[in-house]
Amino acid sequence: MLVLGIETTCDETAAAVVHRDGQGQGSIRSNIIHSQLDEHRNYGGVVPEIAARAHVELLDGVIRRAMEQAGVSYAQLDAVAAAAGPGLIGGVIVGLTTAKAIALVAGKPLIAVNHLEAHALTVRLTHRLSFPFLLLLASGGHTQLISVEDVGRYRFIGGTIDDAIGEAFDKTAKMLGLPYPGGPEVERCAAAGDPTRFNLPRPMLGRPEPNFSLSGLKTAVRIEAERVAPLSEESVADLCASFQAAIVDVVIDRIRVALAGLRNSAWKPRALVVAGGVGANRTIRDALEAVSGELAMPLMLPPPELCTDNGAMIAWAGAERLARGLVDGLETSPRARWPLGEVAAPT
């Protein structure tokens, strides 16, 4: 089946065409992403109103390019999928309404995809992996450990009680005078820094529930930055490296706790999977490789360009849902808030 996927929940205007064969094997026919970095750079973060307007202006062209590159017509599609939330509501409305219009005119089913579900299922587009698996979803807006038990069946294992990991990267970057988005910048600066120079806290380390808390770490970075001000290039690099090292320690510890809790359950994971923009971080990926080897738990990482927001993940989640007969009516509403636990499952 061929599915067009549309993603507009944050600051990426994206569309893609993905194919899923009878064996559940996926392939990407096109994957067009317009990152609105220039539109938001001067504000140090995503401005919802600017994002919504940019989606309106960009989306038609992005979809046209995705269809052209895939070399398919609307008549050849089996469904049209769009992220219907959670996210910035203006953008979600633009994407979902466009998808409804295409579905209506082309006479194809609409699939309203949960953006988090799309991150969760992306790994099955690139790897042969059956359920269940443990997912670390770490992006700018979300940090959750989820037991992915089937399409539509997601069990929350733990999450952040304050900032998301990507948000902590972004805020740290801002404090240190680095541009937005902060994650890749902090990673780049950290490569030249000394991760042991600043003794930063590892919040939640050793706690029995696999939750995260990152606001204290962010505050500690600010206090250290103020202590050594004015900031030299070396201090910025050392702060980035020390911050990243603290994040790595916390992530690995929390994953160990989550895996230990699932080891004897009926849902013992077959693999550990990471999704969301933070999954693009090389140091975090390397640490995960190490813990995976040690615990003999296979690690499956989608390629970095599929970890950050994209249309292929929406199209793929649409195909996975369509394969189970899950389609949505044209009356489906966009949702700013949409926990994974409220996603419809096959009956």
Give the footprint of ligand KG4 on this chain (CB under 6 A). Answer: 10, 139-141, 166-167, 169-170, 181-184, 187, 276-278, 280-281, 308-309
DSSP string, 11-73: SEEEEEEEEE-TTS-EEEEEEEEEE-HHHHGGGTS--HHHHHHHHHHHHHHHHHHHHHHHT--
Question: Could you tell me the smallest distance in angstroms from the CB atom of residue 144 to ligand KG4?
Answer: 12
Question: Could you tell me the smallest distance in angstroms from the CB atom of residue 7 to Zn ion?
Answer: 8
Q: How far is CA 171 from CA 10, 70, 215, in A?
A: 17, 38, 10
Q: How far is CA 77 from CA 74, 113, 183, 185, 314, in A?
A: 5, 17, 36, 39, 15
Question: Could you tell me the smallest distance in angstroms from the CB atom of residue 129 to ligand KG4?
Answer: 20
Give the binding site for Zn ion (CB under 5 A).
Answer: 139, 309
Whichever of 147 and 172 has its CB closer to ligand KG4, that residue is 172
Handedness of CA 59, 60, 64, 67 (dihedral sign): positive
In this structure, what token pair is assigned to residue 216?
């204290």
Residue 280 binding result from Zn ion, ligand KG4, none, given CB thresholds of 5 to 8 Å by partner type:
ligand KG4
Whichever of 69 and 283 has its CB closer to ligand KG4, that residue is 283
Q: How far is CA 145 from CA 252, 308, 324, in A?
A: 12, 17, 24
Query: Is residue 314 within a helix (H) or strand (E), and if so which, with residue range?
Result: helix 311-323
Residue 238 binding result from Zn ion, ligand KG4, none, given CB thresholds of 5 to 8 Å by partner type:
none
Whichever of 284 and 326 has its CB closer to ligand KG4, that residue is 284
Whichever of 12 and 187 has its CB closer to Zn ion, that residue is 12
Whichever of 98 and 139 has its CB closer to Zn ion, that residue is 139
Residue 183 binding result from ligand KG4, Zn ion, none, given CB thresholds of 5 to 8 Å by partner type:
ligand KG4
Question: Could you tell me the smallest distance in angstroms from the CB atom of residue 11 to ligand KG4?
Answer: 8
Question: Could you tell me the smallest distance in angstroms from the CB atom of residue 305 to ligand KG4?
Answer: 10
